[in-house]
């Protein structure tokens, strides 16, 4: 395992020429190539004109989650946004994230009034008595003033606080925007509801988080944000199963380690998110060239069975916006059956949902786990060729 956290708090953020990157990540000849490839891929996103006063998407009652022992329906609102600052910076965002293509304005900045109009219009359509959990997403950091102006954020939170039927709110942020002032303000605006701030740690190992995801922050920074969030509110951590360049077994082992670390630093909820294929991502590019496969559903079950959670461990069900073009799978004979057991697990948090579940393809999965991995540097060697192909296509 790589452990490059150090104690100096230096971050994997900002311009690639002045990041303060340390250790193996800085030495890797492939890191700047990955960022350049992301840039070229993002340049291919169509420049569509967006309605800045309309949400990008919303779904009501399609997802469920246990809260205080009861399984509730969730309302999920995807705001049309000013875009994730990390994805729009020179490092060009996470390698598996397709939100930039469908949830970010291209023609003008979204104003406070536009944010409030799109939110309030959708808010009024939701029956929160039947759907008392609200997930409010903006494809980036809800508490970053550059993405959502403070006045818009406060207006939305006050509206949410005023609805007596909403029991739980989930918002998201990168850790660098988590400050005591922001977290305390949310607590003051929504004093009596359960609020979770979701942070995508993805993988505990700093080197892997940098080179395999391009996440742009250190474990040190995540831990500091976790401490601030849990002082006033609740922490939800996202853990990614099978980022680029890791084998199936490595991905399982790293996911278990990351789940358990998340609970150690105080997470109330950990959501295991298995990688999917979304358009305009480097992961999609590797997938289309036969250099990446989505994880097995058996791997999801393995993590849930082996992890030792001290809070709520749930599994993301690949239902999000924009819709993926490929998702985790086993075989046609058992995909539906296994997915149904994962849904059942989420409804009960009882691992017995997986008892007795088997299929002939499980033997194939077990053989995959036994495969000897190639040296890590060898796995990165296709990057220059793919980058050259991208450059050629962009000319």
Q: What is the pLDDT of residues 328-349, one digit of tens each?
A: 999 999 999 999 999 999 999 9
d(CA 360, CA 358): 7
**Percent of the chain whose pLDDT exceeds 90:** 76
Q: Predicted confidence band at 47 (pLDDT cuts at 50, 70, 90)?
A: confident
Q: Predicted confidence band at 23 (pLDDT cuts at 50, 70, 90)?
A: low
**Which residues share a beta bridge with 136?**
77
d(CA 202, CA 279): 20
Q: Which residues 6+ apart lie within 8 Å of 58 measured at CB? A: 75, 76, 77, 78, 122, 125
Whole-prediction pTM? 0.92
Given a contact cutoff of 8 angstroms between Cβ atoms, the answer to whether 84 and 42 are in contact is no
Helix (H) or strand (E) holding 209: none
Given a contact cutoff of 8 angstroms between Cβ atoms, the answer to whether 153 and 161 are in contact is no
Q: Predicted confidence band at 354 (pLDDT cuts at 50, 70, 90)?
A: very high
Neighbours of 366 (CB within 10 A): 11
Given a contact cutoff of 8 angstroms between Cβ atoms, the answer to whether 129 and 165 are in contact is yes
Which is nearest to 351 in space by CA: 306, 305, 310, 312?
A: 305
What local confidence, expressed as pLDDT, does residue 22 receive?
56
What local confidence, expressed as pLDDT, does residue 268 receive?
98
Average pLDDT over residues 227-244: 98
Question: Using one digit for the tens of pLDDT, what is the confidence trace for 103-140?
Answer: 566 567 889 999 999 999 999 999 999 999 999 999 89
b vs e for 266-293, b when ≥16 Cβ sit within 10 Å of the residue's Cβ?
A: bbbbbbbbbbbbbebbbbbbbbeeeebb
Average pLDDT over residues 213-232: 95
d(CA 240, CA 244): 10
**Which residues share a beta bridge with 77?**
58, 136
Exposed/middle/buried for 302, CB within 10 Å: 0-12, 13-18, 19+? Answer: buried
Name the token pair of 107. Answer: 């023609």
pLDDT of residue 7 exceeding 80, the answer is: no
Given a contact cutoff of 8 angstroms between Cβ atoms, the answer to whether 56 and 80 are in contact is yes
- The answer to which of 100-109, 268-277, 308-317, 335-344 has the lowest mean pLDDT is 100-109
Average pLDDT over residues 221-243: 98
Question: Using one digit for the tens of pLDDT, what is the confidence trace for 169-209?
Answer: 999 999 999 999 999 999 999 999 999 999 999 999 999 99
Given a contact cutoff of 8 angstroms between Cβ atoms, the answer to whether 43 and 100 are in contact is no
Distances (CA, A) of 120 to 31, 62, 312: 42, 20, 30
More confident residue, 315 or 26: 315
DSSP tag of 205: -
d(CA 218, CA 8): 11
Neighbours of 45 (CB within 10 A): 15
pLDDT of residue 320 exceeding 70, the answer is: no
Q: Determine the length of the chain.
A: 395
Task: Output Rg (C-alpha) for the chain, integer angstroms.
Answer: 20
Q: Predicted confidence band at 25 (pLDDT cuts at 50, 70, 90)?
A: low
d(CA 211, CA 28): 9
- The answer to which of 10-19, 237-246, 247-256, 332-341 has the lowest mean pLDDT is 10-19
**Coil, helix or strand at residue 239:** strand
Given a contact cutoff of 8 angstroms between Cβ atoms, the answer to whether 13 and 214 are in contact is no
What local confidence, expressed as pLDDT, does residue 12 receive?
40
- The answer to which of 77-86, 233-242, 253-262, 294-303 has the lowest mean pLDDT is 77-86
For the domain 16-394, what is the CATH code? 3.20.20.70
């Amino acid at each position: 395992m790589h452990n490059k956290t150090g104690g100096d708090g230096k971050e994997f953020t900002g311009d690639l020429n002045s990041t303060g990157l340390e250790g193996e990540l800085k030495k890797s000849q492939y890191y700047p190539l990955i960022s350049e490839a992301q840039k070229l891929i993002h340049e291919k996103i169509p420049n569509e004109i967006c309605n800045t006063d309309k949400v990008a998407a919303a779904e009501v009652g399609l997802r469920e989650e246990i809260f205080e022992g009861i399984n509730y329906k969730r309302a999920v609102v995807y705001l049309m946004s000013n875009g994730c600052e990390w994805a729009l910076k020179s490092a060009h965002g996470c390698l598996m994230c397709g939100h930039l293509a469908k949830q970010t304005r291209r023609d003008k900045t979204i104003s406070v009034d536009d944010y409030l109009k799109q939110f309030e219009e959708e808010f009024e359509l939701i029956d929160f008595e039947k759907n008392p959990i609200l997930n409010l997403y903006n494809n980036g950091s809800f508490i970053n003033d550059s993405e959502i102006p403070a006045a818009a954020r406060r207006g939305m939170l006050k509206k949410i606080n005023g609805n007596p039927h909403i029991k739980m709110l989930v918002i998201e942020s990168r850790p660098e925007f988590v400050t005591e002032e922001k977290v305390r303000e949310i607590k003051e605006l929504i004093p009596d509801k359960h609020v979770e701030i979701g942070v995508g740690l993805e993988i505990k190992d700093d080197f892997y988080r940098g080179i395999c995801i391009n996440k742009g922050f250190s474990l040190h920074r995540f831990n500091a944000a976790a401490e601030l969030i849990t002082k006033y509110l609740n922490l939800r951590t996202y853990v990614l199963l099978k980022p680029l360049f890791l084998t199936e077994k490595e991905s399982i082992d790293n996911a278990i380690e990351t789940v358990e670390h998340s609970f150690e630093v105080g997470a109330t909820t950990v959501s295991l998110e298995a990688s999917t294929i979304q358009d305009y991502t480097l992961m999609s590019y590797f997938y289309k060239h036969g250099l990446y496969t989505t994880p097995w559903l058996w791997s999801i079950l393995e993590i849930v069975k082996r992890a030792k959670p001290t809070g709520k461990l749930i599994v993301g069900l690949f239902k999000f916006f924009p819709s993926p073009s490929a998702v985790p799978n086993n075989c046609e004979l058992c995909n539906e059956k296994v997915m149904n057991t994962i849904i059942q697990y989420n409804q009960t948090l009882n691992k017995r949902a997986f008892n007795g579940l088997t299929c002939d393809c499980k033997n194939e999965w077990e053989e995959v786990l036994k495969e000897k991995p190639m040296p890590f540097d060898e796995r990165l060697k296709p990057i220059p060729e793919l980058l050259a192909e991208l450059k050629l296509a962009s000319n």
